[in-house]
């Protein structure tokens, strides 16, 4: 059983992961918000991810860090993404290396590559299109939030190349509970179900890799992201499809 630190555990992605993988790993949680409800049952650090000494304490004895904490708003202003997403992610990677952590799974976003959608839309959201991004393309953000996610991916590359940390950056699509976004073609193409989200991060915790960028969506009929790298590298085997909810 891996000892896993989950940052940003109190949020939506953290809820999906813990909901599916509660018993699968030995969890330690970290969030700047205090625990409520079921989260009170876990070992829990209330801290900001820019607090280096708190991170070192939280990573003691940890094998894998799943790093979710950050400002998730596509419209977030620069001062927030600079502090929470860039400084915070830098602090997490730095503490991971100092603590002897083996792997970090970083919650990147579709917004790291949002500007690819300035062309070929709305056709790429439809099943007639076989256009796919696969993670080998350069980042192309359409907002400062996306810039911060591209910066996090580059920090991951640096900490892998210079410190041999295993890093996987998951460009998460659009996580929604129970069903895909309604009346939103793009959201249906990017849908990630709670079940597939938990499974995907389970694979990030268990698989062996060097540095990888993968897309985190369900196996939707509509898609413009390739699932092949996540299947090949991580053994991701998604079960859900937004088309089943039409
Ligand atoms: N929900 C989605 O569909 C997607 C999410 N993501 C990324 O996944 C991660 C988690 O997103 P959500 O769970 O949706 O967001 P959320 O806002 O529900 O959860 C984020 C959690 O991180 C904590 N947090 C934020 N800044 C912090 C800091 N400086 N120090 C400590 N804790 C901090 C918050 O208190 C919150 O509990 C984010 O990095 C987001 O950018 C990426 C793509 C899609
Ligand atoms: O990165 C994120 O993306 C999802 C999807 O947003 P959209 O604007 O591409 O539809 C968003 O719900 C989430 O808050 C954000 O962190």
225 in active site? no
Q: Which domain holds residue 138?
A: 3-245
Instruction: Give nearest CA residue, ligand 2 atom 16.
Output: 72
Atom of ligand 2 nearest to the CA of 114: 9
Distance, CA of 149 to CA of 170 (rounded, Å): 10
Atom of ligand 1 nearest to the CA of 84: 29
Of 110, 113, 121, 217, best ligand 2 pocket probe by most atoms within 8 Å of the beta carbon: 110
Q: Is the pTM of this model over 0.90?
A: yes
**Average confidence (pLDDT) over 164-186:** 96
The pLDDT value given to residue 95? 98
Ligand 1 within 6 A of 12 CB? Answer: yes
Q: List the CATH number of the domain containing 211.
A: 3.40.50.720
Q: How many domains does the chain have?
A: 1
Ligand 2 within 6 A of 74 CB? Answer: yes
Q: Out of 145, 194, 225, 236, pick the active-site residue.
A: 145
Ligand 2 within 6 A of 176 CB? Answer: no
Instruction: Give nearest CA residue, ligand 2 atom 13.
Output: 72
The pLDDT value given to residue 161? 98
Would you say 149 is a known binding-site residue? yes
Q: Mean pLDDT over all residues of the chain?
A: 97
The pLDDT value given to residue 246? 74
Q: How confident is the model at residue 27 (pLDDT cuts 50, 70, 90)?
A: very high
């Amino acid at each position: 059983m891996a000892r896993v630190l989950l940052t940003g555990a109190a949020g939506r992605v953290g809820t999906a992961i813990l909901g599916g993988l509660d018993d699968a790993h030995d969890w330690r949680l970290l969030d700047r918000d205090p625990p409520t409800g079921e989260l009170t049952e876990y070992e829990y650090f209330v801290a900001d991810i820019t607090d280096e000494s708190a991170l070192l304490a939280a990573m003691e004895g940890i094998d894998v860090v799943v790093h979710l904490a950050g400002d998730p708003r596509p419209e977030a202003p620069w001062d927030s993404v600079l502090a929470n997403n860039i400084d915070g992610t830098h602090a997490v990677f730095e503490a991971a290396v100092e603590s002897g952590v083996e792997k970090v799974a970083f919650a990147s976003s579709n917004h790291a590559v949002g500007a690819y959608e300035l062309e070929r839309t709305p056709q790429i959201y439809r099943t007639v299109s076989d256009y796919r991004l696969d993670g080998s393309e350069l980042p192309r953000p359409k907002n400062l939030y996306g810039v911060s996610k591209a910066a996090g991916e580059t920090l991951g590359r640096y900490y892998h190349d210079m410190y041999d940390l295993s890093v996987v950056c998951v460009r998460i699509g659009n996580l929604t509970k129970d069903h895909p976004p309604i009346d939103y073609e793009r959201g249906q193409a990017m849908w990630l179900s709670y079940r597939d989200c938990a499974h995907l991060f389970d694979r990030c915790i268990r698989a062996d890799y060097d540095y990888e960028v993968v897309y985190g969506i369900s196996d939707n009929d509509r898609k413009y992201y390739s699932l092949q790298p996540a299947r090949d590298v991580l053994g991701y085997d998604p079960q859900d499809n937004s088309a089943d909810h039409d």
